[in-house]
Amino acid sequence: MTRAVVHRACHLCEASCGLTFEVEGDRIASVRNDPDDPFSRGFCCPKGLALARLHHAPDRLTTPLVRRADGTFAEASWPAALDRAAEGLAAVIARHGLDALGVYVGNPVVHNLGAMVGTEVFRALFPTRNRYSANSQDVNPHLLVNLLMFGMQLAQPVPDLDRTRWLLVVGANPLVSNGSLMTAPRVGARLRALRARGGTLVVVDPRRTETARLADEHLPLRPGADALLLLALAREVLAQGLEDRAFLGRWCQGHERLPALLAPFTPERVAPHLGLGEGAPATVRRLARALATTRPAAVYLRLGPCNTTTGGLAVWAGHLLNLLTGNVDRAGGVLFPEGPLSWLFRLRFARGSFDAYRSPQGRPELAGEYPCSILAEQVERGLADPAAPEALRALVVFAGNPVLSAPNGRRLARALDALECVVAVDTSLSATARHAHVVLPPRSVLHDGGCDPVFPHFAVEDVARWTPPVVAPPPGSVSEYEAIARLAQGVWRRAPRDPRRQGRLLGLLARAAPRLSPEALAALGLRLGPRRLSRARLAAHPHGHPARPLAEGRLARRLFTADGKVALAPGPLVADLDRLVATLAAPPAPGGLVLIGRRQLRTNNSWIHLPGPRCTLLVHPEDARARGLATGSRAVIASRVGEVQVEVEVTDDVSPGVVSLPHGRGHPSVNDLTDDARHDPLTGSSALNGVPVTLAPAAADLHPAGAESAADLVPGR
């Protein structure tokens, strides 16, 4: 049989590496890296190379599942499953109102054009307040701080990796994650090149990560101390008179308030909280000076600090450092990518919202969503009180797995079982889909084409490409978009009207939805975009349109504040400072352990786990000795909300007092330990890092070293 060759970017993570697929009939025969991709230039990781295996994996669902009366699943036809799902959801809306319907949008949606358009249509048709997504475990601090400072939640400057001379990486491990809010395939090569041209890489991370090993300097910060460290750096830049006054005068507003606001964060006062030892004040002064006097320089913050109780303040401080030093919109500093759909940023709905309303717990919405840490409680409130306003009674989960990915997963799993209707749109019977009444498995994204609607807008070079389908869709299969649109239409037709979903336009959308084509919409979007790209022009570059360095001079186009200036001291951030200042009074008590997460190259979030390194709990030698633990011991790690058994790996890669457990599938879930009561009240972020835990040897007779624990053996976990 002849083999067809298709070039396409990998959709598994933000790096978007170019891959070459060889296809035989309806099978993907092989996947290779694509040396001709102008952006990734032949780089890819083991997950990309495993795409054929993942695509043909035996646990991929091909037929919808519907729960029987006895609790087991039965296979069903698409029309029957969609009817059952729509009836279940519409019945809940009829009985309890629109807000009883919950929607959760998971991470793969942003890597899948059809899912992206489909979930937007679904959310437009059903504007319930009970909207959730992976964002509250991920980007919430970035969304809020961009909105407050630039007037636009997606105005995200990315570090100009290839031209910077001094880079501070805070709480990110791009060597393993391959970058986030920084689409940068070959990130290892780019960081090595920075050092080779005489530049400096400084990494702030409680663990000596793969990225930290590459750095000139690694600061093993105490988990959660980022806001203190970064605000102290910003204060120091001002105290040493090193700010870029010309830049601040032209582009920023509120500069004069900063010295007073940052006054409490002197190097000496923050030092006892940083875990960086006696020399911490000198380190803060030295780093502030290096950052402000090396041109160009960039500060890059990612998931580590976002998943703490002060993620909003930390991200604010990161932006402040780039702005005060005049490194925003400067080559080698942080720059704004011109993604092919960035014209959409001008639309009001894309800009984002904050605190337009609050949840019954008093938590502000962000981008029209509530934080996941209240999801279980929203269900439990309804069980306790049949009339509880905004209680959640049905949930649709689009490509998400909150039972493994959100805090206190066991509580969430119990809550799902109490719901009147759960619909999971998922390609496998995940730990979350197992709790569904109906599971709708769309065909793989590799059967559909289009353009990447998200990640070119966060890329370290200006990139664009048109993606062809890799394999023809199997007969009778349903695309992601079609599955969501047909579900939305089914619910719309059955549910009673709500004042929030009456407009004629919405009625038209509901009628037309299943016939819309995400590909056609994307092609139109490209045409209207800043580069006026056509599908044909992009298709002429099957390896990807030639990439170009990001340009300066785009700040004005990313600013949507009323006065056209960057707000350096927005009200909600200033108000949140009091909470941080209060922590200065009491330095952390010695002893005790806190838990942080970890990503592994061969895993992807909760759903991909290629055979590879075991899931181990990293423990510092002092902490291990104090508890009689050694590498290979089994231990019980417990938090306020739960406990799991783990295998210990003793290493000084983590600081004393810090233990690290990977987040992922195929082993005990770290989110059975993360505490839904720990969050950033400002941004709604779950504080998945810095969780207080205890650690003790497991009862040896029950779990000899090296054996699988019961939790390891539950499939899909």
Q: Which residues bind ligand MGD (CB under 6 A)?
A: 13, 106-108, 112, 115, 134, 137-138, 170-174, 176-178, 180, 204-207, 209, 221, 223-224, 226, 302-305, 308, 399-402, 405, 425-428, 430, 442, 445, 480, 596-597, 599, 601, 603-607, 663, 670-671, 674, 688-690
Give the one residue of 6, 13, 395, 445 binding ligand SF4; rule: CB under 6 A. Answer: 13
* Min separation Cβ 544 and ligand SF4, Å: 13
Helices 480-494 and 78-96 cross at an angle (nearest 10°) of: 40
Binds 12, which of ligand MGD, Mo ion, ligand SF4, none (CB < 5 to 8 A, cut-off by type)? Answer: ligand SF4
Contacts of 543 (CB under 8 A, 6+ apart): 7, 18, 34, 36, 37, 38
Nearest approach, Cβ of residue 51 and ligand SF4 (Å): 8
Nearest-angstrom CA–CA distance, 236 and 250? 22
304 binds, among ligand SF4, Mo ion, ligand MGD, none (CB under 5 to 8 A by kind): ligand MGD
647 is an interface residue for Mo ion by CB under 5 A = no
Given the complex with ligand SF4, which of 37 and 226 has the nearer CB atom? Answer: 37
Q: Can you tell me which of 6, 7, 8, 16 binds ligand SF4, judged by CB under 6 A? A: 16
Query: Among the candidate windows 15-23, 213-221, 242-250, 395-403, which touches ligand SF4 by CB under 6 A?
Result: 15-23
Q: Does 461 bind Mo ion (CB under 5 A)?
A: no
Residue with smaller CB distance to Mo ion, 138 or 160? 138
- DSSP category for residue 483: H
| Residue nearest to ligand MGD as judged by C-beta position | 304
Closest CA to 84 of 393, 428, 440: 440
Rounded to the nearest angstrom, the gap between the alpha carbon of residue 283 and the centroid of all alpha carbons in its chain is 31
H or E stretch including 617?
Answer: strand 616-619
Q: 63 and 441 in contact (C-beta within 8 Å)?
A: yes
Question: Residue 48's binding partner, choosing from Mo ion, ligand MGD, ligand SF4, none, with beta-carbon cut-off 5 to 8 A by kind?
Answer: ligand SF4
Question: Cα separation of 445 and 429, whole Å?
Answer: 17
Contacts of 92 (CB under 8 A, 6+ apart): 100, 101, 393, 394, 420, 421
Nearest distance in Å: CB 404, Mo ion: 13
Q: In 10 A of CB 345, how many CB atoms?
A: 18
Phi/psi for 705 (5° steps) reads -55, 135
- Please tell me whether residue 15 binds ligand SF4 under the rule CB under 6 A: yes
Contact set for ligand SF4, span 293-352 (CB under 6 A): none
Binds ligand SF4 by CB under 6 A, chosen from 6, 7, 8, 17: 17
399 binds, among ligand MGD, Mo ion, ligand SF4, none (CB under 5 to 8 A by kind): ligand MGD
Alpha helices in 294-362 (DSSP H): 303-306, 311-324, 348-351
Judge contact between 296 and 164, C-beta under 8 A.
yes
Tell me which residues in 155-194 interact with ligand SF4 (CB under 6 A).
178, 185
CB of 583 or CB of 600, closer to ligand SF4: 600
User: Tokens for 603?
Assistant: 């895993």
DSSP per residue, 107-138: GGGGG-HHHHHHHHHHHHH---S-EEEGGGGT
Cβ nearer to ligand MGD, comparing 301 with 569: 301
Asked if residue 75 lies in contact with residue 65, where contact means CB atoms within 8 angstroms, the answer is yes
Q: What would the two tokens of residue 569 be?
A: 């001291």
Q: Which of 6, 8, 12, 219 binds ligand SF4 (CB under 6 A)?
A: 12
Q: Tokens 């969503």 identify what position?
A: 369
Residues in the chain: 717
Strand ranges inside 621-715, DSSP E: 634-638, 643-650, 658-660, 691-697
Task: Examine residue 138 and tell whether it contacts Mo ion (CB under 5 A).
Answer: yes
| Tokens (6 digits) for 588 | 């952390």
Cβ atoms of residues 17 and 43 within 8 Å: yes
Nearer residue to ligand SF4 within complex by CB, 610 or 638: 610
| Residue 382 binds: one of Mo ion, ligand SF4, ligand MGD, none (C-beta under 5 to 8 A by kind) | none
The span of 130-138, 190-198, 238-246, 444-452 binding Mo ion (CB under 5 A) equals 130-138
Partnered with residue 200 across adjacent β-strands are 166
Q: According to the binding rule CB under 6 A, does residue 284 interact with ligand SF4?
A: no
Q: With respect to Mo ion, which residue has the nearer C-beta, 179 or 668?
A: 179
Q: How far is CA 598 from CA 15, 88, 180, 276, 405, in A?
A: 18, 38, 14, 21, 13
Residue 607 contact among ligand MGD, ligand SF4, Mo ion, none, beta carbon within 5 to 8 Å by kind: ligand MGD
Nearest approach, Cβ of residue 677 and ligand SF4 (Å): 33
Site string for ligand SF4, 21-60 (x = CB under 6 A): -----------------------xx-xx------------
Residue 430 CB partners (closer than 8 Å, separation 6+): 401, 403, 404, 424, 606, 607, 716
Size of the site for ligand SF4 (CB under 6 A): 12
Cβ–Cβ < 8 Å for 393, 103: no
User: 12 or 366: whose CB is closer to ligand SF4?
Assistant: 12
CA-CA distance, 39 to 15, in Å (whole number)? 10
Q: Cβ 354 to ligand MGD, closest distance in Å?
A: 20
Task: Using CB under 5 A, list all residues that contact Mo ion.
Answer: 138
Task: Using CB under 6 A, list all residues that contact ligand SF4.
Answer: 10, 12-13, 15-17, 44-45, 47-48, 178, 185
